[in-house]
Amino acid sequence: EGSFDEECDYLFKAVLIGDSAVGKSNLLSRFARDEFCLESKPTIGVEFAYRNIRIGDKLIKAQIWDTAGQERFRAITSSYYRGAMGALLVYDTTRRSTFESLRKWLRELREFGSREMVVVLVGNKSDLTHSREVSLEDGQSLAQLEDLSFMETSAKENVNVEDAFLQMINKIY
Ligand code: GTP
Ligand code: MG
């Protein structure tokens, strides 16, 4: 770890946001450690994970912040967003209410995030096809309207998780 820091060209901070239980922590554990947990607990406060990525000849150390979707467990919002260059804005494709909440999350992003922040909209739990409540088209049109990148993912089946994070990171570097 220490020796990597010396070689690392860029340190990059990104944040995960979205309602509770949409799968933020599992997207992160999948990306950082290739782990998934069916019975994960709600996040309290803030957690971090790192992953080193090579893009061309650049070494990038991605520091991803994960916080609680539940209001009562959230850390101070301004410090969470400070210095963040990217965000994954996550909803659950099987719960319409988490899609309706995106308006609130976008407002918060604009209030606390930097203007240049790269935001990827992520519809998670695409593996649960029989309980889908948000169509692919709904996700696509919101992304188009708000000028965001978009991807449906499954942290469980490891579908598009890597792509969602890399899309964000690629747009920055
Ligand atoms: P908070 O920390 O409360 O904000 O929730 P969170 O967004 O971090 O959700 P978390 O990652 O803890 O996941 C919530 C539940 O959804 C857990 O039971 C996970 O196993 C499950 N889950 C997460 N991603 C997926 C997925 O892609 N597919 C399925 N089927 N379940 C998932
Ligand atoms: Mg969590």
| CA–CA separation, 162 and 129 (whole Å) | 21
- Supply the pLDDT for residue 6: 56
- In the chain, at which residue ranges do the beta strands (DSSP E only) sit? 10-17, 46-55, 58-67, 86-92, 118-124, 149-152
Q: How far is the CA of 41 from the centre of ligand 1 (A)?
A: 9
CB 65 within 8 A of CB 71: no
On whether ipTM exceeds 0.95, the answer is: yes
Q: Tens digits of per-residue pLDDT, 38-78?
A: 999 999 999 999 999 988 888 999 999 999 999 999 878 89
| CA–CA separation, 99 and 35 (whole Å) | 25
Q: How far is the CA of 65 from the centre of ligand 1 (A)?
A: 16
Q: What type of residue is 75?
A: A
Q: Model pTM?
A: 0.95
